[in-house]
Amino acid sequence: MIPIPRTRRAAVAAGLALSLVLALAAAGARAGDSRAGAGGDTAAASPGERLESMTGPILLETAQAEFRKAASVTMTGFALKDGRRAVFTVSADREGHCTVSSTEEGQGPSLVLRVLDETFVRMDPQACAREWGAATASKFDGRWIRLPPDRALDDIGAFCDLTTVPVVGAPDPAGQALSGGGLSVGGTRTMSFLVTSPDDPPFLGYVATQGPPRPVRVETQAYDFQVDFGDYDKPVAVTAPPADQVVDLAALTENTP
């Protein structure tokens, strides 16, 4: 997992997919839902309404609202990155704790730890060399890299911030959100939805019908991308690496050609 990738394709795919679940509150009006308010209010579910009877925009808005209530979540999945499949697991809470493990084909795992306002990255040497060059990678030597506070995580690491789980702009005004049928995903009963747009590939998603109607999965075959949501509200335990195993990014790149 490369925090600041050269190729944005996987980041765009992941961000679009998650934004469709978590940032489509305005999609109700754009999708022409008949229950949206005449004054531009977003669509809302009727009290006690079953997911099976909801339109696509209302189903998405309901999932979004429930996601915002969750104290934490674990996201597991895969995506294409630089032409290679990367598998990842991200556990994050709303207090600023996060762990990330990501492995690309042909490399070892890269890790991210976020402890409140500090972020530490331990990259596979090949990924480090590709990101910052061989000279910098030679200094890496398996240590944790502390990112400066103003260095935001892109790509999979951006999932650490649940308040801004990657949002790649607003959905296309010409797009549509459509509800689908029921399906069991990982043993959880769900209602499916489909989001289409003239400019982007279609995305499929699933919302739990058992318990809170939270996102369970989002996927698109166009980018070979899938993310599953689970372990909602479970504590995310993170401990900062020992100081003697940490190097600041500025020191790592200092005097490197």
pLDDT tens readout for residues 158-216: 788 888 764 333 345 556 777 788 888 889 999 988 887 777 778 888 999 989 999 99
Lowest mean pLDDT among 7-11, 73-77, 102-106, 135-139: 7-11
Provide the pLDDT for residue 19: 41
CA distance 168 to 154: 12
The first and second tokens of residue 147, run together, are 């990112």
Whole-angstrom CA distances from 234 to 4, 101, 189, 238 are 28, 18, 20, 13
Beta bridge partners of 210: none
Provide the pLDDT for residue 45: 66
Place of tokens 């190097």: 247
Place of tokens 């020191």: 251
Provide the pLDDT for residue 120: 92
Beta bridge partners of 115: 97, 118
What are φ and ψ of residue 125, in 5° steps?
-55, -35
CA distance 181 to 193: 8
The first and second tokens of residue 93, run together, are 């809470």
Which pTM value belongs to this model? 0.77
Provide the pLDDT for residue 51: 86
The first and second tokens of residue 231, run together, are 């372990």
Mean pLDDT for 109-133 is: 85
